[in-house]
Structure 1
Amino acid sequence: MLPLLVGWFGAVAYWIGAGPTEDPAATADVAIVLGAAVHGDEPSPVFCERISHALDLYEAGRVGHLLFTGGRSAADALAESEAAGAVARDASVPADTILIETRSRTTMQNLRNAKAIMDLEGLETAIIVSDPLHMRRAMEMAETLGIAAQSSATPTTRYRSWRTKAPFLLREVYFMHHFWLFGE
Structure 2
Amino acid sequence: MNKKKWLINSLLGLVSLSLTAIAYSGWSIYRYGSHSTQIQADAAIVLGAAAWGNQPSPVFRERLNHGIALYKAAKVNTLIFTGGKGDGDELAESMVGKHYAMQQGVAEADILTETQSRTTQQNLYYSQQVAKVHNLKRFLIVSDPLHMKRSLQMAREMGMDAYPSPTPTTRYRSVSSQLKFLARESYFYLVYLVFKI
TM tier, smaller: over 0.9
> How many residues end up aligned between the 2 structures?
183
The one of 60, 66, 69 equivalent to 1:47 is: 60
2-structure distance, mates of 1:74, 1:13: 30
Task: Tell me what 1:13 maps to.
Answer: 26
Give CA-to-partner distance per residue, 1:158-183, whole Å, 9 cap, x none.
01111101111111011111211221
One-letter code of the match for 1:115?
Q
Residue 140 (str. 1) matches residue 159 (str. 2): no
Task: Tell me what 1:87 maps to.
Answer: 100
* 3-state secondary structure, aligned to 2:98: helix
1-structure distance, mates of 2:73, 2:36: 16
For normalisation by structure 1, the TM-score amounts to 0.96
* 3-state secondary structure, aligned to 1:63: coil
Task: Tell me what 1:22 maps to.
Answer: 36
Gaps (5+ residues) in structure 2? 1-12
One-letter code of the match for 2:146?
L
1-structure distance, mates of 2:119, 2:19: 27
Is the 1:70–1:102 Cα contact (8 Å) retained in structure 2?
A: yes
How far has the Cα of 1:74 moved from its partner? Answer: 2.9
Q: CA RMSD in A?
A: 1.0
* 3-state secondary structure, aligned to 2:169: coil
Gaps (5+ residues) in structure 1? none
User: Larger Cα Rg: Structure 1 or Structure 2?
Assistant: 2
Percent identity of the aligned residues? 42
How far has the Cα of 1:19 moved from its partner? Answer: 1.3
* 3-state secondary structure, aligned to 2:42: strand
* 3-state secondary structure, aligned to 1:82: helix
Give CA-to-partner distance per residue, 1:105-130, whole Å, 9 cap, x none.
00000000011111111001000000
Task: Tell me what 2:188 maps to.
Answer: 175
1-structure distance, mates of 2:36, 2:51: 27
The one of 51, 57, 61 equivalent to 1:38 is: 51
The structure with the greater share of residues assigned to strand is 1
Task: Tell me what 1:122 maps to.
Answer: 135
